[in-house]
Chain A
Amino acid sequence: MTATRPADDAQLAVTPDAERAGGQGVPGGLSAPPVRGASEAVGSRREILYFVLRSRKVIVAAAILVVMIVLAVVGPILRPGDPNALVGPLASPPSADYWFGTTTFGQDIFAQFVAGLGASFLVGLAGGGLAAVIGVVIGFVAGYRGGIVDEILSMLTNVVLVIPTLALLLVATAYLAARGLLVEAAFIGLTSWPWAARAIRAQTFSLKSREFVDLARISGVSSWRVIFGEIAPNMSSYLFLTFVLLFGGAILIAASLDFIGLGPTDGTSLGLMMYNAVAWSALQLGLWWWFVPPGIAITAIVGALYVMNVGLDEIFNPRLRES
């Protein structure tokens, strides 16, 4: 609030009405109170929990995710073995033996489904996690250092942002004959970090101007400890939300890539299931049980993650809450 911009006339900061005496102070003015940063004091953790338990969005979304995770974990136990094995009658609809029916080759769709769920979650975690790490580090460094370092990193961020990832992937597939899940995750991680870096950089800029950062600096604390010890904890909800979005985004990107055939060359995933379903004319043949489950699953997972993100944002950002 007291940045030293010379040419501005009236910058003397906010009135003593901003001072809260005794802990239960009354909001001084009703119009545009000063911005106090992304997170409330820890003392209001209980308040956050209160809102979490009351937020329909978060509860419903979390429930959907839990169901999917349970399926992904328990499923392969119920149906052990190679999900791509030919086990049953060809192209048969859901029945007591094969809950989701079989493919045109006689593969158990339910087995594929639960294995695919696991694969999708793995890619989401690995790819989203990698993107998060890169984005966070670059965002913090650019935001904290400013100046020429910020210029260079921002340029890098913008370049990666506008690179056509599809074209890049096509080139990569031409060179990599066999691709596994990890390669796909690495690819997603290396190309989807820019927007996270920009968001983190912006937040870091605004937190850097807070006086507790200056205070840490004049306490002889090193820059890295200032970033991770003072700034990052203040943005913990923001960082969490960033990860949630990256996770969901990675799953969606992976499914899309699999669907157009640029995914892993072995194994199975939800997107691969849909790719195969289209490749073998499931729609024309009326084999709805082949592509409907994976489709619904992808939509449900990604949708739930986004809705949870919105719900959590409302909780962490008090100004979005209803009174």
Chain B
Amino acid sequence: MSLQVTDLRVYYRTLAGDVKALDGVTLGIADGEIMGLAGESGCGKSTFGNSLIRIEGRMKHVGGTVTLDGVPLPIDDQREMDHFRFAEVSIIPQYAMSALNPTRKIGKMVAELLATRGVRYRDAREELERRIVLVGLSRDVLDRYPIELSGGMKQRMVMVVSTLLDPSLLIADEITSALDVSSQRAVAQTLVEFRDRGFVKSMIVVTHDVSILYQISNTLAIMYAGKLAEKAPTEVMMSRPRHPYTRLLISSLPEIGVRFEEQRLSGIPGTPPSLLNPPTGCRFRDRCPLAIAKCAEEEPPFVEIEPGHSVACWMAT
């Protein structure tokens, strides 16, 4: 088992109280697995991704454990986590394009980064160049400044840098959202290739775009209001979704071929609940067409209904 997360809770401190952004998430990812994590904004998916690499600022780790390759990850100890970051757990952040220091040549920046891990730039250079060519960039990008690259190129450069030390776990946080559709496909498929070539053992791809996840991920997890709603292998999730939120979400996605006059799609009315004082019971009940009395009283547990397929819903179990 590559990654095992048990009942992880991460809250944000605000003047008005604690925002329960991540409120009890339990899941496991195997070696070689790409897990897609989707949901609307504020559902906690970015918090999840970020808490595995750096808990900072107003975040606080309230409970739960994370184990990577059998070793517990000390996510709330900045010093201890330093040994894991970049080498074992790595992230391609949400604004990767602004993650490159504009006053440094790219090669210099990589050299400095490697130096913090005790790796000599000279030793890593050959592999670095090989990977740069693999993602479709030319070798001389190392001598350029970030401003000379386009957004898609910067994104791919950050991908190469983040995975240079072959981490066990890679978190990709909304890496395709700011790209054009032609770069999106290249970046998404490159991600899969990194896994296929063994640069990365397992991946968590966080995004709101379920269609991209369908294309590249092995399993899909849907979060809602800080909790997991459903998790299943991608094909199963698309053909047999059990959680009402998942079903509504999938049916609201327009595909090429569906036209307004012929088939009117419908969204999900309402908005997610406030995470400052989340409602009792199931957090989706206000917007759920299947809600019953029990949904308001008791929170549905996240249980496995078939191998690899888990749901948190009273109506689905």
Q: Are A10 and B95 in contact (CB under 8 A)?
A: no
Contact B41 A9 (CB under 8 A): no
Question: In this assembly, does B74 line the interface, its C-beta being within 8 Å of a C-beta of chain A?
Answer: no
CB neighbours of B146 from chain A (8 A):
none
Q: How many residues of B contact A (CB 8 A)?
A: 44
Give, as a whole number of angstroms, the nearest-CB distance from B3 to chain A.
20
Check B19–A15 contact: CB distance below 8 A: no
Residues of B within 8 A of A25 (CB): 41-42
Partner of A29, one of B151, B174, B276: B174
Q: How many Å lie between the Cα of A98 and that of B180 in the bound state?
A: 79
Q: Say yes or no: A16-B57 contact (C-beta < 8 A), given A10-B180, A24-B274, A26-B12.
A: no
What distance in Å separates the Cβ of B134 from its nearest Cβ neighbour in chain A? 20
- Residues of A contacting B68 in the complex (Cβ-Cβ under 8 angstroms): none
Residue from B13, B47, B57, B178 in contact with A15 in the complex, judged by beta carbons closer than 8 Å? B178
Of B42, B95, B179, which is within 8 A of A31 by CB?
B95
- A302 CB to nearest B CB, Å: 34
In Å, the complex CA distance between A27 and B16 comes to 15
Q: How many Å from the CB of B157 to the closest CB on chain A?
A: 13
* Per-residue A-contact encoding for B169-180, CB less than 8 Å = 1, 0 else: 000011001111
- The CA of A29 and the CA of B56, in the complex, are separated in Å by 12
Contact A323 B58 (CB under 8 A): yes
B95-A9 in contact (CB<8A): no
Asked if A15 and B183 make an inter-chain contact with CB atoms under 8 angstroms apart, the answer reads: no
Contact of A28 (CB < 8 Å), options: B15, B46, B99, B179: B46
Q: Kindly list chain B residues whose C-beta atoms are within 8 Å of the C-beta of A8.
A: 150-151
Asked if A32 is an interface residue, CB under 8 A from chain B, the answer is yes
- Quick check: is A22 within 8 A (CB to CB) of the other chain? yes
Across the interface, B50 reaches (CB within 8 A) one of A10, A15, A24, A29, namely A29
The distance in angstroms between the C-alpha atoms of A242 and B274, with both chains bound, is: 38
**Nearest B residue to A15, CB-CB:** B177
Interface of A is mostly: loop
A22/B271 in contact, CB under 8 A: yes
CA distance A18 to B273 in the complex (A): 17
Q: How many residues of A contact B (CB 8 A)?
A: 28
Q: Are A16 and B40 in contact (CB under 8 A)?
A: yes
Question: Closest CB of chain A to B295's CB: distance in Å?
Answer: 19
Q: Judging by beta carbons under 8 Å apart, are A26 and B21 in contact?
A: yes
A151 within 8 A of B: no
A150 to B271, alpha carbons, bound, how many Å? 45
CB within 8 Å of A: which B134-160 residues: 150-153, 155
Q: Is B317 an interface residue (CB 8 A)?
A: no
Min CB–CB distance A19 → chain B (angstroms): 5
Which residues of the partner chain B approach A9 to less than 8 Å between Cβ atoms? Answer: 150-153, 180, 183
Query: In whole angstroms, how far apart are the Cα atoms of A32 and B57 in the complex?
Result: 13
Q: Is A81 an interface residue (CB 8 A)?
A: no
> In the complex the two chains form, is A24's CB within 8 Å of B275's CB?
yes
Footprint of B on A, CB under 8 Å?
8-32, 47, 50, 323
Can you report 20 residue pairs joining A to B where beta carbons are below 8 Å apart? A9-B151, A9-B153, A10-B152, A10-B178, A10-B179, A12-B177, A12-B179, A15-B174, A16-B40, A17-B46, A23-B274, A24-B274, A28-B41, A29-B93, A29-B173, A30-B46, A30-B54, A31-B93, A31-B95, A50-B15
